[in-house]
Structure 1
Amino acid sequence: MKVLVADDERSLLNFIARGLSAEGLDCTTVSQLHEVSMQAYQQQPDVIVLDRLFGDEDSVLELPAILKRSPKSRILLLTALDDVNDRVTGLRAGADDYLCKPFDFDELLARVQALGRRIEGQAGEAVDVVQQGNLALDPSSRLVRREGVEISLTSLEFDLLAFLMQNNGKALSRERILNKVWGQQSEPLTNIVDVYVSRLRQKLDNPPPDESMIQTVRGLGYRFRIT
């Protein structure tokens, strides 16, 4: 697995890189925020471990550019900002997971490996296009089109939509969605599923229909339904 670690704190950067390399991961480091998107483009890493703050610069503002250059990369944000609004901002910008400082290295490793397993699992998935109404999802190219027009999704948004579409009409609990899409049993954030569903709705329900294709099932989770 290829991992790009980006942090302006050299001691922490080297600590993380040494630890991941010792676990057999192919690790590259960068200490300047403006270099991250270029390194991501050149390396095409499976996972990017990205510090939230580089001095006064917020790396969340760079996430769209990073993901445009390396769209299949998973993003794990590291930060001392543990306010819910800060975490939600990072997730909405395209991050896949969030880890607050100070952290235990074993937890960081587990989260990196979990993100990597999701990528490995995609290699063996069926490549048949999933068609529901006027929405088409192609697992092979990882593209989504509505009436032939491409909808730009992050890697995690694509995975979430794929799972919902494959279970068209079924009520899915938040726990089941989290376990399948995020690959873990316990929530890193209590509302991470809700955050990503909200992002998908904004992109899919444009213009807003009378009823969203991703319906809320009160007290349980969500249901994808399209005719």
Structure 2
Amino acid sequence: MKILVVEDNTKQAQFISQSLNAAGHQTDVAHNGQAGLFCALQTDYDLIITDRMMPKLDGLKMLKALRASGNQTPALILSALDSVDERVKGLRSGGDDYLIKPFAFSELLARAEILARRTPAAHADNSHIQALDTLTLDLLSRKAKRGDTCIQLNNREFQILEYFMANPGRVITRTMLLERVWSHHFDPQTNVIDVHISRLRKKIDLEHHTPLLHTVRGAGYVLEIRL
């Protein structure tokens, strides 16, 4: 199996990854939910094993965003939160199984193998889906969503958002946007960028508790999750 391990504890991530590799599986490791979401949307995995409490994006939010994108890769949640309510919350957020920490590796391996058998080996190609938190962008249908809400974008707004989604966490300057989206070397002081960014921000962030599109004073803009 090809397995994605998402765990912010470096030692535990290494232990799980090495143990799975020794059992004949192939693993990739991400150390926070944001990195895990990016990996899961770029690569086809047979299984995702994710910690629940992580920086940048916790395991449940990561799975919600993944499911919202249409990705149905089976997921095993690891957590020290062992109440019935917490386990139910994990399963309803997109998890397929829930394993309490601390655990025996033999049980983790058995659960992983059972989950992988439930799903066909071949998964749909989701490489055309880009996602950050609950924001998803489908490059084929050219549709955007924030959670369950569809976002209407004109062609220019779509191009701008596509550029940001391809570069999460990277500061994008006005000049970069002008050259990439407009394909012309306009005066970077023009307010055409600010106008389009303002409209795009209203569409993707309005009425959402977690803003994603931020202004970096004196530099440009960045699309990222800020806690």
Report the TM-score when normalising by structure 1. Answer: 0.51
Offset of 1:2 from its aligned partner? Answer: 1.1
| Residues 122-147 of structure 1: CA deviation (Å, up to 9, x unaligned) | 99xxxxxxxxxxxxxxxxxxxxxxxx
> Distance between the aligned counterparts of 1:97 and 1:19, measured in 2?
19
Q: Tell me which amino acid in the other structure corresponds to 1:90.
A: G
Change (3 A) 1:56 1:84: farther
Q: How far apart are the structure 1 equivalents of 2:76 and 2:48?
A: 6
- Structure having the higher Rg: 2
Which residue in the other structure is 1:7 paired with? 7
- Give 2:25's aligned residue: 25
Distance 1:17 1:36 in 2: 14
Q: Give the Cα–Cα distance (whole angstroms) in 1 for the partners of residues 18 and 68 of structure 2.
A: 28
Distance 2:57 2:79 in 1: 13
1:37–1:69 contact (8 Å) kept in structure 2: no
Q: How many residues align?
A: 124
- Cα 1:69–1:14, aligned 2, differ >3 Å: closer, same or farther? farther
- RMSD in angstroms over aligned alpha carbons? 2.2
| Cα deviation digits, residues 77-120 of structure 1 (max 9, x gap) | 00000011111111111100000000000000000000111124
Distance 1:118 1:13 in 2: 25
Alignment of 1:9-88 (within 5 A): 9-55=9-55, 58-69=58-69, 71-88=71-88
Q: Tell me, what secondary structure is at the counterpart of 1:53?
A: coil
Taking only the aligned residue pairs, the percentage that are identical comes to 38
Structure 2: where are the runs of 5+ without partners? 124-147, 149-227
Q: Contact conserved, 2:32 with 2:57, CA < 8 A, in 1? A: no
Kindly provide the amino acid, as one letter, of the partner of residue 102 in structure 2: P
Q: Secondary structure at the residue paired with 1:61?
A: helix
Q: Secondary structure of the residue that 2:48 maps to in structure 1?
A: strand
Q: Is the 8 A contact 2:47 2:116 kept in 1?
A: yes
Question: In the alignment, what sits opposite 2:132?
Answer: none
Aligned-partner Cα distance in 1 for 2:65–2:30: 16
Kept in 1: contact 2:33–2:56 (CA 8 A): no
In structure 2, do the counterparts of structure 1 residues 68 and 57 end up closer, same or farther at CA, with 3 Å as the change threshold?
closer
Question: Within 2, Cα distance between the matches of 1:104 and 1:62?
Answer: 25
Offset, 1:62: 2.2
CA distance in 2, matches of 1:30, 1:45: 13
Question: How far apart in 2 are the matches of 1:121 and 1:17?
Answer: 20
TM-score by length of 2: 0.51
Structure 1 residues without counterparts, runs of 5 or longer: 124-151, 153-227
Secondary structure at the aligned position of 2:119 is classed as helix
The one-letter amino acid paired with 1:105 is: F
